Structure formats: C-alpha cells, structure tokens
Amino acid sequence: MKDKSIKQPWPRSAKITVWVLSILLFLASVYIALDATTVKSEDYITDGGGIHRTDLFPLKLPDPKQDPTKTIREL
C-alpha cells in the first residue's frame, strides 16, 4: 500500500492572520503608489490664478557686489 500524507486544514487563527496581513500589505502598497504619484504642495507657487513649478525656476546667483561668504577653511 502507498502511504498517503494526510492533509490537515489550516487553523482558524492562521487563516485570519493571513487575511489581515494580506489586507495590510494591499493598503500599504496603495498608499505608497498614491504617495509616489501625488505632487507635494511645496513644489508649486500660486500667484493670482497661475500655478508655477518651483523646480523650473533658475537658481539665483549671489550678488557680486555683496561681500563673499567665508568658506569652512577660512573660518
């Protein structure tokens, strides 16, 4: 005769644990996906109805007439 392994059903607590962890994993992945696709408000400037992205503005160079700042070595 062949030895058949007897399959036992999962305990109820294990089933509940798997369901809860699956739901939490799904919610976390949805949160990460939505957070990655949304644009943060500090990336935009609004003025009188116009919305402008701040990362498109050129960097302001220091005024050459202003005293130069000291480097760490000079301090």
What is d(CA 73, CA 75) in angstroms, rounded to the nearest whole number? 6
Looking at residue 4, its pLDDT comes to: 72
Q: What is the pLDDT of residue 44?
A: 60
Model pLDDT, residue 46 = 62
Tell me the whole-structure pTM to 2 decimals.
Answer: 0.46
Decide: helix, strand or coil at residue 46: strand
Once rounded to an integer, what is the mean pLDDT over residues 58-65?
67
- Of the two residues 65 and 21, the one the predictor is more confident about is 21
Which one is predicted more confidently, 70 or 33? 33
